[in-house]
Structure 1
C-alpha cells in the first residue's frame, strides 16, 4: 500500500470510526433527553429481587446503548439510599449483558434499514412539536448513522485484505494476545464506548483482516476498558456508591483476563461460538457477559460486602477545610471577570442544594437527627452565600456596567434568589415535614411513597441538568430544562389527583399523611421551578424565549 493510498485509508477509517462513536452517542443522548425520568423510575423499582434488577439493567443498557450510563445512574441511587450496593451490582451485571446484546442487534445488515430509519428519524425530529417524539427521531437517526459507519468501515478495510504489510501486523496481534487485549482496553477507554469498540473489532474480523483470536482478545480487553470508564466517572462519589462499580470492574476485568488466557491456551474453544469468525467474535462478547452475570448474581451481596471491607474512606482525618469563596475581591475592578466569579459561586450553591435534596428524601422513611442538622447547616451556608453574592454584584455595579453586563448581573442575582428559595423549600418545608412524620409516628401509603420517590427523582434529574446548564451554557439543554418545568407541573397535578382518589377510598395511611404528602409535592415543584430559572437567560439571549414562554 503506497503512501497516498495509506493516507486515504487512514482518513477513511478514522472518519468511519468517528461517525460510529458519534452515532452511538447520538442514540444515547436521545434516550437521556427523552426518557431519562422513565429509566430512573424503572431502575428505582428494581430493588425487589436480583433477577428483576438484572433485567432492568439489561433493558436500560439496550435503550442507552451504554452500560456506563446505567452504572452512573445506579451509583446516584446508591448514594441517596434508594438502592443497596448489592442490588446496584445486579443492575450493572444485567447492563453489561444488555450492552453486549446491543452489539448483536447493530450488526444486523438489511439494505432498507438505513433509508427507512433516516426517513422516519428526520421526519420526527423536524416535524414533531412533541419533545419526546423529537428524541425518538434523534435515536432513529443515530441508529441509521451507526449502520452507515459500519458500511464505511467495511468499504475502507476491503483493500487491506490484499495488503501483505497489513496482514503481517494483524497476524502478529493474533500471536500476541496480550498486546491485542491492551489495545482493545485502551481503544474502548479512548472512545468511552465499549459498544463502538466491539462493533469496530467485529467488523474488522468479518472483513478477514483481523485474526479471530486477536479480535477475541481485543473484545475482552474492551470489556475491561468499559468497566474502567464507570470506575473513573464515579471516583468522586461516596464510597458506598462505588462498591458496585468496583465489584463490576473486578468481575468484568478479572473475567476478561481469565477468558483471554483460556483462548490463548485453547483457541479451538472459539469454534463452539459460531461458524464464521465475525459470529464467533460477537458471540464471545455476549457469552462472556452472560457467564459473568450468571455466576456472580447469586453472590452480589457477598461480593459487595468484601469490597466494602477492603475499600476505606481516604478522606483526610482531622482535616476540615472550608470551601473557599469564588467571590474574588480583586476581580471587582474587572466587571466581566467579577461576574464570572459570581457565576462560580452560584454553581457551588446549586451543588450544595443538590446534596441537600439527596439527603432529605430518606428522612421520610427513617429520621436521622444528624442528617437533619447537616441540612440545616447547609441552608445557613447558602443564606450567607446568597447575601454575599448580592453584595458582590452591587459592588460590581458601582464600577459602571454596559447594557450586556448589567443584564447578566441581574440574571445572576435572580438565579441566586431562586436557589435560596430552593434551599428554603428543602430545609424549611421538606425537613419540617419529615420531622412531623417522625413525631407523629405515621408513614405514607406504599403507593403514595412510591409517587413521592419517583417525583423526587424527576426533580433531582432536572436539578442536575440545571447544574450542567450553569457550566456549559448550552441553549439546547437550557431549552430542555425550561420545557421540563411544564412537565413537572403536569405530573404534580396528576399526583395530587391520585392522592385525592386514595383519600376517597378511605386509605388510613393516606388520610394520616394527606397534608404532608401534598406539601411535599408542592415543595418539590418549587425546587424544580427555582432551578429552571437557570435556563431563561440563556434562551432569552438565543432568541428561544418569548415574554413568558418558550417559542
Structure 2
C-alpha cells in the first residue's frame, strides 16, 4: 500500500508541475512555432516535454491538433514521440531526491501558492516536492514490488512486464522510476527490459482515446505502436552489451524512436490510412429511384440540402474557434469542406436531373441553393486563410478588432443556424426572420469602429487593417448569401 501511495504522489507531482508550467504564456507561442514543420515538431516536442513532464499529455494534445487539421500525421507523431523523450528528464531529477529535499520544496511551495500572483511558482515547487516525496515512498514501500521483481527473470520477461505496466499506467516515466528503484535487486537486463517495454506500452494512451470514438487515435496510435515495437525489439539484445543505466536507456530509446520516425513518417502515415481508411462522404437521403416520384425526390433533396447547410455551419463554428484561439488554419476545415463539396456535387447532379424530368421550378431552386451553400463554404475558408496569413507574418488583431470579428462571425452563425433549421423542418417563419433582419447597418457599425481605431493611431489596428476589413467584407458576403438562401427557402 505504501508503494501505491508513493506512486499516487508521484503522478500528482507530475500533474502539478504540468499545471504550473501550462500557465507560462510563452509556452503557447513556443508550441505555435513548432507546428510549421516535422523538424520543428521534433525540437519543440523535446522542449515542451521537458517543461511539462507529461509525454502522454502532449501526445493527446498532438492527437487533438491532428483531428482539427492543425498538424499532419508526421508532425503529430513526432510531437508525441519527442515529447515523451523530453519528459524523461524528470526521471533524472529523481537522483536529486535526497533526504529533506522534498520537505524543503514543499515548505517553499506552500507560501508561494497562497499568493495569487506567485501561485504558478508555488504549484511548481509543490509538484517537485511531491514528485520527490512519492519517489521516496515508492522506495520505502518496495516490499511487494521486490517480491514481484524477484520472479522476473531475463530481459524478455522484464520487457513484457514493462509493456503491461506502461499500458496500465500510461506513463513511461513512472515505470522508469520503478526500474530505477529496483535496478539494484534485479537480474541483469531486466531493468532495461522494463524501460523498453514501458516505452511501447505507453502507446496505449491512444487506444484508450480510440475507445471514446476518436478515429484519428487509431490512425496515429497504431503506427506509433508498430514503430516503437520494432525498434525496441532491435534494441533489446543490446541490453547485454551496453551498460545498464536506466536513465540513459529511458532517454536514449525515446530519442531513437523520434529520430527514426522522421524519415519513415510517410510510410507509417500510409500504414495508418490503409489500416483505418476514412469513411467516404456519401449522400444520406438522395435515391435515384425516387426520381420517378417527383414529390418524394424533392423532399429527399431538401433533407440532403439541410445536411449541406449543417456542414457549412460546422465550418463557420471551426472558423470562429480559430479566430478566437488564434491557432489553426485552413487545414482544420478540410474534412468539413470535403463533405460540403462531395454532398453539393451529388445534390447538384440530382436536382439537375430532377429539373430536366419535371420542369419543376422548385427543383431549380434547390439546385441554386446547393450552389449557394458551396460558395458560402468557400467564403468561410477564405476567412480562415486571411487570418492564418496575418498570423504567419507575426501580426495580430487588436483585442477590440478581434472582438468585432468574433461578434460578426457569431451573428452570421446564428442566422445560418436558423436557416438550417428552416431547411430541415420547412418552418418558413425562421426563414422570414433571417430575411427581415437587415445586416448592412450592423457591418457598417463595425467598419466605423475600425476606422475610429485607425484614426486613434492604434498600432495593431494599422498593421492588420487590410486583413481585418477583408474578413469583415467576407463575413458580410456570407451574411448576404444566408439571406439569399432564406429567400429560396421561402419559395420551396
TM-score range, shorter chain: 0.5 to 0.7
In the TM superposition, residue 353 of structure 1 has moved relative to its aligned partner by: 9.1
Tell me the distance in 2 between the aligned counterparts of 1:89 and 1:520: 35
Distance 1:250 1:269, change over 3 A: same
Say if 1:192 and 1:229, in contact at 8 Å, map to a contact too: yes
SS in 1 for 2:36: coil
Aligned counterpart, 1:380: none
Structure 1 residue matching 2:13: 3-state secondary structure: helix
Q: Partner residue of 1:269? A: 241
The answer to whether the 8 A contact 2:3-2:140 is kept is no
The C-alpha deviation readout for 1:304-332, integer Å capped at 9, x for no partner, is 23332332236998889xxxxxxxxxxxx
Paired residues, number: 360
Structure 1 residues 154, 517: CA separation in 2 closer, same or farther (over 3 Å shift)?
same
- The verdict on how the C-alpha distance between 1:122 and 1:293 changes in structure 2, with shifts beyond 3 A counting, is same
Alpha-carbon displacement from aligned partner over 1:83-133 (angstroms, at most 9, x marks no partner):
11111122122112112222223333344532332122111111x123xx3
SS at match of 1:270: coil
Distance 1:118 1:77, change over 3 A: same
- Residue 512 of structure 1 pairs with residue 466 of structure 2: yes
Tell me how far 1:38 sits from its aligned partner.
5.0
Tell whether the 8 Å contact from 1:364 to 1:434 is kept in structure 2 after alignment. Answer: no
Q: Secondary structure at the match of 1:47?
A: coil
Cα distance change, pair 435–92 in 1 and its aligned pair in 2 (3 A): closer
Alignment of 1:169-318 (within 5 A): 170-175=149-154, 177-205=155-183, 208-234=184-210, 236=212, 239=215, 242-260=218-236, 262-263=237-238, 267-271=239-243, 273=244, 280-313=245-278
Which of 55, 77, 92 is the matching residue for 1:89?
77
> In structure 1, what is the equivalent of residue 318 of structure 2?
358
CA distance in structure 2 between the partners assigned to 1:75 and 1:292 by the alignment: 18
Change (3 A) 1:286 1:113: same
- 1:440-519 matches, within 5 Å, as 444-447=389-392, 451=396, 500-501=458-459, 504=462, 510-516=464-470
Measured in 1, the distance between the counterparts of 2:335 and 2:134 equals 56
Residue equivalent to 2:122: 137
Measure how far apart 1:284 and its partner are.
Answer: 1.1
User: Which of 33, 48, 69 pairs up with 2:57?
Assistant: 69
- 1:309-360 per-position Cα deviation (integer Å, ceiling 9, x unaligned): 332236998889xxxxxxxxxxxxxxxxxxxxxxxxxxxxxxx999863366
Q: Distance in 1 between matches of 2:474 and 2:26?
A: 21
The residue number in structure 1 matching 2:337 is: 371
Unaligned runs of 5+ in 2: 286-311, 323-327, 344-372, 407-449, 476-492
CA–CA distance in 1 between the matches of 2:383 and 2:205? 41
Q: Which residue of 2 aligns with 1:477?
A: none
Give the deviation of 1:73 after TM superposition: 1.0
1:513 aligned counterpart, secondary structure = helix
Partner of 2:409: none
Q: 1:190 to 1:106 in 2, by over 3 A?
A: same
Q: Do the aligned partners of 2:206 and 2:218 also contact (CA within 8 Å) in 1?
A: no
CA displacement at 1:57 relative to structure 2: 0.8
> Larger Cα Rg: Structure 1 or Structure 2?
2
1:23 alignment counterpart: 13
Deviation at 1:183, TM superposition (A): 2.2
Distance 1:221 1:159, change over 3 A: closer
CA distance in 2, matches of 1:247, 1:308: 10
Q: What's the CA shift for 1:193?
A: 2.1
Paired residues of 2:337 and 2:377 also in contact (CA < 8 A): no
Partner SS, residue 97 of structure 2:
coil
Aligned Cα root-mean-square deviation (Å): 4.5
Q: Deviations over 1:260-291 (max 9, x none)?
A: 3x15xxx53232x5xxxxxx122111111122
Are residues 437 and 148 of structure 1, via their aligned partners in 2, closer, same or farther at CA, if it must alter by over 3 Å? closer
Match for residue 535 of structure 1? Answer: none
The 8 Å contact of residues 17 and 153 in structure 1, kept in 2 or not, is answered as yes
In structure 1, runs of 5+ residues without a counterpart are 1-10, 274-279, 321-351, 378-426, 460-492, 522-551
Q: 2:150, 2:190 → 1: CA distance?
A: 8
Measured at CA, do residues 515 and 148 of structure 1 come closer, stay the same or move farther in structure 2, by a change above 3 Å? same
Conservation of the 8 A alpha-carbon contact between 2:70 and 2:332: no
Using the TM superposition, give the Cα deviation of residue 233 of structure 1 relative to its aligned residue in structure 2, in angstroms: 1.8
Task: Give me the whole-angstrom Cα distance separating, in 2, the residues matched to 1:248 and 1:62.
Answer: 20
Q: Give the TM-score normalised by structure 2.
A: 0.60
Cα distance in structure 2, aligned partners of 1:17 and 1:318: 52
**Superposition map of 1:424-443 within 5 A:** 434=380
Partner SS, residue 203 of structure 2: helix
Secondary structure, aligned partner of 1:300: helix
Distance 2:26 2:274 in 1: 34
1:79 aligns with 2:67: yes
Match of 1:525 in 2: none
Given the alignment, which residue of 42, 53, 66 partners 2:30?
A: 42
